[in-house]
Amino acid sequence: MSPVVTRFAPSPTGLLHAGNYRTAVFAYLFAKHSDGKFIVRIEDTDAARSKPEYEANIREALAWLGLPADETYRQSEHRARHRELLEQLIASGAAYVSKETPQAPGDREEVVRFRNPGGALSFTDVIRGRITTDVADLGDFIIARSLDEPVFHFAVVVDDADERVSHVIRGGDHISNTARQMLIQRALDFPEPLYAHLPLIMDRTHKKLSKRTGAKALTEYRDLGILPEALLNYLAFLGWNPGDRREYMTLEELVRAFELSRVQKGSAVFDEVKLFSVNQHWMRQLSIDAYIERGKFDEYPPDMVRKIVPLLQERARTFSEAREMLSGEFSCFFRTPSPDRAKLLAKEPPDRPGLARIALKTLLAAVEALPGEVSAETVKQALMPFADAEEAKGKGGRGSVLWPLRYALSGQERSPDPFTLIALLGARESSARIQNAIAILGE
């Protein structure tokens, strides 16, 4: 058997989205599962639209995902080879220079067309089975705008053959291109690779995923704080499954399990909510030190951040959300609050004036009696009897006790519960904040 060689061949004419990179993931996994070779070829023959920054972004995204190429090529470097084979087809009569009537200013008066032999052409798609096309419907199609400007159908056939690509793994929207490319292969006496056309990826409205409908560039997800192992895991499951109940798999596990036979024919849906859920799983697998390093929380005191990481792992789905929490509802861990008197009294029953101050003084005594470092559950057990007693009275309930405590500790309307605040701040700092609130309320 010939060695397995796959390729990812993006055009650097814009920022690519997750649907494009899913192709790279499948091509890489299949190649490595088969002990084969994974090629990245930048198809930059559209000189007017190809931009160096887009090519750089493609390489950056692949490196971030952890999909290194065994070989890399740039299609524009193959122009001499393309011209050589165009001339060969013209000389053999399989192609010809066609005089055209320009349809618009700037259109070519001459192009190179492939002489279509007609008839039916069939191939067996690894995923979709037998596909037959009546190639007569294609007419004599254009394969080059000039001898130095081959179009996609021609250039890709030559490059795939020269690079010994054994499996062309690409999106299902390329099925219509396959017949043209196979006609060119036969005219050049090239071996035919196996084709595997992947299910399309749809957005949540079941339209094809595209930049026009809001699909993000892959590097945007990186900047949101998505982990590469999470995005890789998620992309691998868009149209494929390992045949068991696993949902979370490392790159090494994916390589071992990946088989094209388990790729589905139907379309897959890209769902950001599911992606964020997968990312949260992988964030939770990180050690505290790794979480801090990858979250880039350098502007915050490291000792306190270490205490807060379990809270972040519980709630944040991305590192962007984690940073928002640190600057928002968790900011009370890094600054001394300045409580507002009216807000301290916000839940005090009108018929029980002074309850907030009494509650704070009672709870202060319980906090001061706490032994050293304690868990939030231990704090809760120490404070809840008083709150439960107020609940039993039916005048304001637990809220009339716990609200002024939480607000005294945080100075914020949104914050973690008071038991968590005390456990992380420590008894000494918590006591100082409660005493400050009592002083604000006065006698």
Q: For 280-320, how does the pLDDT look when each residue is reduced to its tens digit (9 = 90+)?
A: 999 999 999 999 999 999 999 999 999 999 999 999 999 99
- Pair of tokens at residue 244: 């068991």
Helix residue ranges, H only, 34-94: 52-65, 79-92
User: Which pLDDT belongs to residue 131?
Assistant: 96
Per-residue pLDDT of the chain (443 residues; tens, 9 = 90+): 579 999 999 999 999 999 999 999 999 999 999 999 999 999 998 888 999 999 999 999 999 999 999 999 999 999 999 999 999 999 999 999 999 988 888 778 899 999 999 999 999 999 999 999 999 999 999 999 999 999 999 999 999 999 999 999 999 999 999 999 999 999 999 999 999 999 999 988 888 888 777 789 999 999 999 999 999 999 999 999 999 999 999 999 999 999 999 999 999 999 999 999 999 999 999 999 999 999 999 999 999 999 999 999 999 999 999 999 999 999 999 999 999 999 999 998 888 899 999 999 999 999 999 988 899 999 999 999 998 888 778 766 888 999 999 999 999 999 999 999 999 999 999 999 999 999 999 86
Question: What is the rounded CA–CA span in Å between residue 82 and residue 432?
Answer: 78
Burial 173-211 (b: 16+ CB within 10 A, else e): ebbeebbbbbbbbebbebeebebbbbbebbbeeeeebee
Number of residues written out for the chain: 443
Q: Say if domain 341-441 classifies as CATH 1.10.10.350.
A: yes
Mean pLDDT score across all residues of the chain: 94
The answer to whether 409 and 418 are in contact (CB under 8 A) is yes
Tokens of 80: 């001499």
Q: Provide the pLDDT for residue 107.
A: 79
Locate 268 and state its tokens.
Answer: 């897959």
Parallel/antiparallel/unpaired status of strands 194-198 and 167-171: parallel
Cα gap 142→130, rounded to integer Å: 26
Are both 5-202 and 341-441 of the same fold?
A: no
Residue pointed to by tokens 């192009």? 111
DSSP state of 245: S
Residue type, 110: E
Question: Do the Cβ atoms of 201 and 270 come closer than 8 Å?
Answer: yes
What angle do helix axes 302-315 and 418-425 make, rounded to 10 degrees? Answer: 150
Assigned token pair, 23: 């192709």
- Pull the structure tokens for residue 395: 């005048």
Return d(Cα 9, Cα 160) in angstroms, integer.
10
Q: List the alpha helices (DSSP H) in 75-162.
A: 79-92, 152-162
Separation of alpha carbons 19 and 238, rounded Å: 9
| Dihedral pair phi/psi, residue 166, rounded to 5° | -95, -30
What is the identity of the amino acid at 66? Answer: G
As given in the structure block, the two tokens for residue 134 are: 């009546």
Residues 6+ apart with CB under 8 A from 211: 14, 15, 17, 217
At the second CATH level, the architecture of 5-202 is 3-Layer(aba) Sandwich (3.40)
Q: How far is C-alpha 104 from the geometric centre of its chain's CA atoms?
A: 41
Locate the domains of the chain by residue range: 5-202, 288-327, 341-441
- Does residue 26 contact residue 257 with C-beta atoms inside 8 Å? no
**DSSP assignment of 345-411:** TTT--TTSTTHHHHHHHHHHHHHHTS-SS--HHHHHHHHHHHHHHHHHHTSSTTHHHHHHHHHHHHS
CA-to-CA dists, residue 112 to 119, 154, 185, angstroms: 21, 11, 16
pLDDT of residue 443: 64
Query: Do the Cβ atoms of 368 and 427 come closer than 8 Å?
Result: yes
- What CA–CA distance (Å, rounded) separates 430 from 443? 21
What pLDDT, on a 0 to 100 scale, did the predictor assign at position 213? Answer: 72
Q: Quick check: 405 and 347 in contact, CB under 8 A?
A: no
- As a whole number of angstroms, the distance between CA 236 and CA 312 comes to 26
243 burial type by CB count under 10 A (0-12 exposed, 13-18 middle, 19+ buried): exposed
Residue 230 tokens read as: 């999470």
